[in-house]
Structure 1
Amino acid sequence: MADMLLFPDVEALLCTWLRTELGDIPVGNKLPNPRPDPFVLVQRHGGIRHTVVTDAAQVGLECWAASDAEAHDLAQLCRALLLYRLPGQILDGHTVYRVDEVGGPSNLPDPASSMPRWVMELQVHVRGLAA
């Protein structure tokens, strides 16, 4: 019987990594109440097993800030970090092979509060580990 591979909790890996990269900016996979400004929400929206050893997790990022310009800049910073710095990193034993942009940053104010928010969708290719 072939070895089974288990894939990581990509939300948890990305939240931990982004917290380190962003410093004082809070990052999480659940929206706190009250929500701080600024704040980055990371949630897996699906994805597929791309190869025998890789998971292609589709991940949504939502970036809130006090102004449209600040929310935009935070989204662009997250975008640059994830697209250019994350590939090749080993997070909790899992290699991140590549990050693809599925939907670039979009201005989408929060429908509940009308606060400035920019959103994007990425695909994060991560290697699994033997069970």
Structure 2
Amino acid sequence: MAAVTKPLVVFDDVQAAGAQVLRTALAGRPEPFAAGATVGTRVPDDRTPETPHLPYVLVAKDSDAPHPSMANARCTLRVTVWGEDEDAAHDLAMLCQGLLLIHSGPVIRSVKPGTGPLPAVDPPTGLPLSTLTVLANVRPHVLA
């Protein structure tokens, strides 16, 4: 009887994929609160109240849980949006949530709502922000 070998399966960087989804989807959006939005996976080093980089969208992976079969991973992505004011931060967060919920691609196969958007204030800068989470189903990537 021949030995059964399993394929070598990994999951691509869902945080980077989520940021790229939003970077692409926000480019050229007509909503004023989305104009000039920058999307990244870390807060800019030079962010201060004088240089706030607004609007700014941060995508971060909070957790992941591969399925035992390695056929899927379920990851929590946290999206934090800094805006000119509370309304702009909330509206852009809602738009980001909607854009992620309709996405299906080579890394992220589907997205479900998690929590938020929830309003907050950034302690270091005093800037208004809004944060949300989504649950992303991630496709496996077969290496061999």
Same fold (TM over 0.5): yes
Give the structure-1-normalised TM-score: 0.88
Letter in 2 for 1:112: P
| CA radius of gyration, larger in | 2
Matched, 1:116 2:116: no
Q: Is the 8 A contact 2:21 2:100 kept in 1?
A: no
Aligned to 1:75: 93
Q: How does 1:1-131 map onto structure 2 within 5 Å?
A: 1-23=5-27, 24-32=36-44, 33-34=46-47, 35-50=52-67, 52=69, 53-83=71-101, 85-86=102-103, 89-91=104-106, 94=107, 96-131=108-143
Distance across 1 between alignment mates of 2:54 and 2:77: 21
Q: How far apart are residue 111 of structure 1 and its match?
A: 1.7
- Structure 1 segments (4+ residues) deviating >3 Å: none
Matched residue of 2:62: which SS? strand
Once the two structures are superposed, residues 83-115 of structure 1 have per-residue CA deviations (whole angstroms, 9 ceiling, x without a partner) of 1x21xx223xx3x33212221210011121121
Could you tell me which runs of 5 or more consecutive residues in structure 2 were left unpaired when the two chains were aligned.
Answer: 28-35
Could you tell me which runs of 5 or more consecutive residues in structure 1 were left unpaired when the two chains were aligned.
Answer: none
Aligned CA RMSD, in angstroms, stands at 1.3
Q: Is the 8 A contact 2:65 2:74 kept in 1?
A: yes
Aligned pairs, number: 125
> Relative to total residues, which structure has the larger strand share, 1 or 2?
1
Distance across 2 between alignment mates of 1:20 and 1:116: 24
